[in-house]
Amino acid sequence: MKKIIVNTSDATCPCSLAGITSEAVNALHTVDHATGAGNDFLGWVKLPSSITEAELADIQATADSLRRDCEVVVCIGIGGSYLGAKAVIEALDNTFRSHMPSAQGNPAVLFAGQNIGEDYLAELSDFLKDKKFGIIVISKSGTTTEPAIAFRILKEQLEKQAGKAAAQKLIVAITDEKRGALRTLANSEGYKTFVIPDNVGGRFSVLTPVGLLPIAVAGHDISALTAGAAEMEKACTAENAEENPCIAYAGARNLLYRQGKKIEILVNYNPKLHYFGEWWKQLYGESEGKDHKGIFPASVDFSTDLHSMGQWIQDGERTIFETVLSVEESARTMVIPTDGDNLDGLNYIAGKRVDEVNKMAELGARIAHVDGGVPNIRITIPALTERWIGQLIYFFEKACGISGYMLGVNPFDQPGVEAYKKNMFALLAKPGYEAETAQIRQRIK
């Protein structure tokens, strides 16, 4: 039977893993019995099995309406209100979709509010000028500056292009049930809304409407995605590393951290997984990087980055380990042709699939890096489909909760994120920040 497999045999010896497994099982109990710090943010644990047909149908109907009425749908959000949808859409989409002529019924899904780039917004606004577009605006707090700026600009543009009444039907807001500026605005404008549950933090929200609506708008099967996640939810209650891949992964990475491996590099060999790495970095970075502790999460795309970061990984400071995300089966088949002249000398691989060469690059790099002192955890996923991506998302979320408790932190808060916001508001002289404004002006004099 196909399944996601975590292989730690190139990371650490089984004897040392045995010791840490009981710690991982204890941390699993802490998550499952909600006895640890941040236990009011565990709503994600049972999301896959508790989402109802009616909820999925509502999300799908909203997606279908946007698909019918729009050539482009702009998803506005940042951090956990952006990365999950972006990661899943990139993993499942045709790579060149954004370059294909967009027809209604399969709108281009673009993102905004994930930066404050003036050029980015101006170019997006130009691009949207002659397009029928809609907006999904996502903010749990409803007060985040980056998406709020993008929404103000694009809402105004949509109202001018489509008319206020039509724009109201082309905007969907996903936010808190009661609180925040976005909730107030959505209620007053009469937008269709979805709620981000109170007990689900941003980086754990991809299996709520935050991720599911944009993914459905992109044309992917959200029922299969959540069904996959539900399969993994079930597997992730087992109290041993053989059945529960989270135990193996959380155990191995904590062991490596204690052995001085302070940086984990998530490696993929499929460019469709680039944004999965970005999502994973937020999940682990924001969950674990606190109290002056935490594995630094980095990511690379191989073999591309073997030609840029390969030297460092092979020969640089030995404080790293790799976690390789390996996709067993490509969706497509491409065979390297034979060439009569063989001027490029490639006939020795003629007749082989491109993926076979990719797999040899992967194996060759694994052996070289392990020999060079870089422990290797290997996570195998059967294919890039909704079901397996759903499983992978849930696996990483559950392992993250377990791993954070093993590290001794609250994996579900993010107090450090506020520091830059406070300074930015002070520098922008936001009302209510007068004391901070005076202080920071002294600081930068």
Helices 14-32 and 245-258: crossing angle in degrees, nearest 10, is 120
Q: Which of 8, 114, 144, 157 binds ligand PA5 (CB under 6 A)?
A: 144
d(CA 243, CA 394): 15
Choose the binding region for ligand PA5 from 14-22, 54-62, 138-146, 306-314 (rule: CB under 6 A): 138-146
Tell me which residues in 276-335 interact with ligand PA5 (CB under 6 A).
286
- Encoded amino acid at 386, one letter: E
20 versus 182: smaller Cβ distance to ligand PA5: 182
260 versus 415: smaller Cβ distance to ligand PA5: 415
Give the DSSP letter of residue 100. S
d(CA 122, CA 153): 10
106 versus 145: smaller Cβ distance to ligand PA5: 145
Strands 171-175 and 192-195: parallel
The catalytic residue among 33, 178, 352, 421 is 421
Catalytic: 397?
no
Q: Is 79 in the site for ligand PA5 (CB under 6 A)?
A: yes
Single out the residue of 107, 177, 120, 176 nearest to residue 153, CA to CA. 120
Choose the binding region for ligand PA5 from 35-43, 53-61, 140-148, 246-254 (rule: CB under 6 A): 140-148
The catalytic residue among 286, 288, 322, 362 is 286
Choose the binding region for ligand PA5 from 63-71, 72-80, 129-137, 255-263 (rule: CB under 6 A): 72-80
* Partners of residue 7 on adjacent β-strands: 378
Cα separation of the two ends of the chain: 65
Q: Which of 36, 48, 80, 245 binds ligand PA5 (CB under 6 A)?
A: 80
Give the DSSP letter of residue 260. T
Catalytic: 29?
no
Q: Which of 66, 90, 135, 140 binds ligand PA5 (CB under 6 A)?
A: 140
Choose the binding region for ligand PA5 from 8-16, 76-84, 268-276, 387-395 (rule: CB under 6 A): 76-84
Choose the binding region for ligand PA5 from 25-33, 73-81, 90-98, 218-226 (rule: CB under 6 A): 73-81
The catalytic residue among 53, 118, 292, 307 is 307
CB atoms within 10 A of CB 425: 17
Provide CB contacts within 8 A for 345, sequence distance 6+. none
CB atoms within 10 A of CB 353: 15
Single out the residue of 29, 75, 414 nearest to residue 215, CA to CA. 75
- Encoded amino acid at 135, one letter: I
Catalytic: 307?
yes
Q: Which of 78, 241, 250, 379 binds ligand PA5 (CB under 6 A)?
A: 78
Considering the complex, what minimum distance in angstroms separates the CB of residue 33 from ligand PA5? Answer: 24
Q: Which of 16, 106, 125, 141 binds ligand PA5 (CB under 6 A)?
A: 141
* Partners of residue 112 on adjacent β-strands: 76
For tokens 């508001």, name the residue. 425
Query: What are the residue numbers of the active site?
Result: 286, 307, 421
Q: Name the site residues for ligand PA5 (rule: CB under 6 A).
A: 78-81, 139-141, 144, 147, 201-203, 286, 414
